[in-house]
Amino acid sequence: MNPHRPITILGIETSCDETSAAIVRAKLGNSPQVLADVTLSQIAEHQPFGGVVPEIAARAHSAHLDRLIAQALHDAQLGLGDIDAIAATAGPGLIGGVIVGLATAKALAYGLNRPLIAVNHLEGHALTARLCDDVAFPYLLLLVSGGHCQILAVEGVGQYRRLGTTIDDAVGEAFDKAAKLMDLGYPGGPEIERWAAAGDPTRFALPRPMVGRPNFDFSFSGLKTALRQLVEANLPLSRKDCADLAAGFQTAIGDCLADRMQRAMEHFNERYDLQPDDRRLVIAGGVAANKYLRSRLGEIAENKNYRLISPPGKWCTDNAVMIAWAGIERFSLGLVDPLTTRARARWPLDQDAPAIAHNRAQMMALGQTKQI
């Protein structure tokens, strides 16, 4: 690869309920450019069911993806011949949707005679901060999404060491379930954030599971049960009840994340001998779009001499820019994949991960959840 020539990559994301295509260009020594970023959310189609329906998602991806790719090329004022490689999410996720995106990427790669890059969706979330900001390896990552809640040490592209994870619900899942309990709408995270803004977080007492424990793990199911009991004891809920419960719930989550991340930063300092100026805490994944949580984590990062970095909200929730960027990172290292690469419903980022579902989409694919 010629380091003086820019690399232009088309990214495709179809692992859950956003159909997305993006084009990112990077050249050694220059800031990367997002030339196109097109996302079609399927929220309205899934809303009546209170969660993502895999069949509907897969059909919607196949109905819209071609048009979105054409739109991305149009926005970037490029032709297919200008694309150096095609990057697509190859998992983890709802398998029908992943197959649609990966098969489209393979067809383009084959037809254009360009390399395919099969991207792990979680790696997309994990590396986005390096597109937006000056973040060198290693860094500490809090990955908080609809189905995963993990603390990882990111040592390099493809090199992840997991410090902690949730032992039950993922944090985004907890937000979604909490909103469902109060009938606030789907997806729950943004709704809880909106209601919490007008609420009193001290009115209702809610637990802080795992706080103070000598590990880096999370647990949110007890918090959800406590919320359910409060909801049931206060029916019918007034608007004020909803706002106060949402604020109490969001604050409890903030306390849990802050406690776990404080410990993680102390551990990270011991393990990686970084100068204070080089310490970075990155938050990524859909829940990282929450402004209250960002500001809570910003405070504890500052106390520990870390810089908090979080991509803009639109690149925290699922999007193809993160997949195109992960594609650039991998392509720059010569990491490309054969056209025989398979779509994967499960695909943990770290090799040591137990064989459990790691993301909302996966759990749904496995039929283990989504009765929210």
To ligand KG4, the closest distance from the beta carbon of 339 in angstroms equals: 26
* 15, 171, 353, 216 alpha-carbon torsion, rounded to 10°: 150
Cα(368)–Cα(76) distance, rounded to whole angstroms?
Answer: 40
Residue of 190, 199, 248, 348 that binds ligand KG4 (CB under 6 A): 190
Does residue 188 interact with ligand KG4 by CB under 6 A? yes
Q: Which residues contact 141 (CB under 8 A, 6 or more apart)?
A: 126, 150, 151, 152, 153, 154, 281, 282, 283, 284
Question: How do strand 307-309 and strand 280-284 relate by DSSP bridges?
Answer: parallel
Q: Which tokens go with 13?
A: 């994301």
What Å distances lie between residue 129 and 126, 182, 223, CA to CA? 7, 34, 30
Q: Which of 88, 156, 154 is nearest to 117 (CA)?
A: 88
Candidates 8, 42, 359, 362; binder of ligand KG4 (CB under 6 A) is 359
Kindly state whether residue 285 participates in binding ligand KG4, applying the rule CB under 6 A: yes
- In angstroms, what is the minimal distance from the CB of 328 to ligand KG4? 20
Q: How many residues bind Zn ion (CB under 5 A)?
A: 2
Instruction: Please pick, from the candidates 37, 123, 193, 241, the single residue that binds ligand KG4 as defined by CB under 6 A.
Output: 193
User: Could you say whether residue 138 binds ligand KG4 (CB under 6 A)?
Assistant: no
Interatomic CA distance for residues 23 and 42, integer angstroms = 21
42 is an interface residue for ligand KG4 by CB under 6 A: no
For residue 128, the partner it binds in ligand KG4, Zn ion, none, with Cβ less than 5 to 8 A by kind, is none
Rounded CA-CA distance 278/104 in Å is 40
Nearest C-alpha neighbor of 146 from the set 162, 122, 164: 122
- Cβ closer to Zn ion: 84 or 318? 318
Nearer to ligand KG4, 310 or 359 (CB): 359
∠ Cα 358 205 299 (to 5°): 65
Dihedral, 265, 267, 270, 275 alpha carbons, nearest 10: -10
Of ligand KG4, Zn ion, none, which one sits near residue 19, judging by CB under 5 to 8 A according to partner kind? none
When asked if residue 176 is in the footprint of Zn ion (CB under 5 A), the reply is no
Gap between the Cα atoms of 269 and 150, Å rounded: 18
| Coil, strand or helix at 156 | strand
Q: Is residue 145 involved in binding Zn ion (CB under 5 A)? A: yes
x/- contact string, 57-96, with ligand KG4 (CB under 6 A)?
A: ----------------------------------------
| Side chain identity at residue 158, one-letter code | G
- Exactly one of 145, 150, 166, 362 binds ligand KG4 (CB under 6 A); that residue is 145
Question: Per rule CB under 6 A, is residue 189 in the interface with ligand KG4?
Answer: yes
Torsion angles phi and psi, residue 154, rounded to 5: -95, 110
Q: How far apart are the first and last CA of the chain?
A: 48
Which partner, ligand KG4, Zn ion, none, binds residue 190 by CB below 5 to 8 Å per kind? ligand KG4
CB of 285 to Zn ion, least distance (A): 6
> According to the binding rule CB under 6 A, does residue 317 interact with ligand KG4?
yes
User: Considering only residues 88, 94, 289, 328, which one is a binding residue for ligand KG4 as defined by CB under 6 A?
Assistant: 289
For residue 42, state whether it binds Zn ion (rule: CB under 5 A).
Answer: no
Interface residues toward Zn ion, by CB under 5 A: 145, 318
Interface residues toward ligand KG4, by CB under 6 A: 16, 145-147, 172, 175-176, 187-190, 193, 285-287, 289-290, 317-318, 359-360
